[in-house]
Amino acid sequence: MAGNLFQDYPFSLSFLFQSFLRCLDRTDHETLSNSDPNLLARVQVSFFKGYKGVKLETDSYLKQTGLDSLLRVPLTLEHADLELPYNVQTCLDKCLKLTTGFGPAPPNEEFTRLVDLANLYKTFF
């Protein structure tokens, strides 16, 4: 996708989608249940967007956070030959564009579409 909104993030779209799938399947959470998947999607995209422009492994980031170094831990399945389907990428791109400031975006049909796509594709991830 030319001009991708998500190129300026330290995490991949696959990370965002797989994390959302995990949240949909969890049985309990202290602050945000999965009883409203649309709200869950809007909150998760908001947290993801909060990392826009962050370069995790730079000297300035380490100094700013007071860390000596970072340890890479794979949290999701990432592989050069694994790509999200184009319709999921497009939907996530639209959801990111709808999310401004801190906090979840207002309800929108794109987040409903994201929930529908997640339920469709969750058997693959």
Q: Average pLDDT over the chain, rounded to whole?
A: 85
**Does the pLDDT value for residue 122 go beyond 90?**
no
Give the C-alpha separation, 112 to 118, whole Å. Answer: 10
Q: Per-residue pLDDT for 2 more than 50? A: no
Distance in angstroms (rounded) separating the CA atoms of residues 106 and 104: 6
Quick check: 108 and 98 in contact, CB under 8 A?
yes
Give me the percent of the chain exceeding a pLDDT of 70: 94
So what's the pLDDT on residue 31? 75
Residue pair 100/9 in contact by the 8 Å Cβ criterion: no
Query: For residue 5, is pLDDT > 60?
Result: no
- pLDDT tens digits, 20-59: 998 898 878 777 778 899 999 999 999 999 988 888 777 7
Which comes out higher in pLDDT, residue 76 or 4?
76
